[in-house]
Structure 1
Amino acid sequence: MQSVTMPIDLKVLMNHIYEYKKGVRRMVLFTFNKKYETFAVSKLKREDIDYIIQPIGNDRLNLFFGKRECLDAIRMMVTKPLCHLSPEEDFILGAMLGYDICAQCERYCERKKRVS
């Protein structure tokens, strides 16, 4: 019997969903190949997890999923490519995603210096 291996993108997605359901994360940003969109969306719908998909080019997608309150804020804040977020928007997004707050502070200061 031949076993089917799951692509790494889907393994990462499954891990993110696991962490979200266990309460480790309140929101996740997952960037992946568009060819897995149907699988990702159907999995999130089956798990009753809210999500937002944003195309980013080169057959890649950003998939935000998690708590509705977080996604409501994302809908208001992330209205352009992530690389065009202001230093403040970038900081807030990183904090919402649970990134290391000291690293986010350093990133904010660096980005703010470049803008000034």
Structure 2
Amino acid sequence: MLKTHSCGELNKKHVGAEVTLAGWVDRRRDHGGLIFIDLRDREGIVQVVFNPETSKLCHTIASDMHNEYVVRVSGEVTLRPPGTENSKLPTGDVEVIAQNTDILNPSKTPPFYINEDIEV
């Protein structure tokens, strides 16, 4: 199965659920141990956390991900730790802890940022 949910539909009622998502890497952040990606599909964006203690393989794969890669991620929906919620996103109360991941299609660096908030 390619995906069970859309990125933008996840919220507090999904906490504890196992989900499979597919979309584009909108943004990647490496915080020295944990890797965070904002996964984007046509419905929205959700934060995915790659923790080497949860899955060393997923963490290694995530270290190779870059903007606009097409990826699939499976994992558990959890509440974000207090103080890390993002009120700017409808999904900002939750995150997905990656337990399985695949790079479906890598991407070269785009010649410009693909972002509706940036005027080109």
TM-score (norm 1): 0.28
More helix by share: 1
Flag the structure with larger Rg: 1
More strand by share: 2
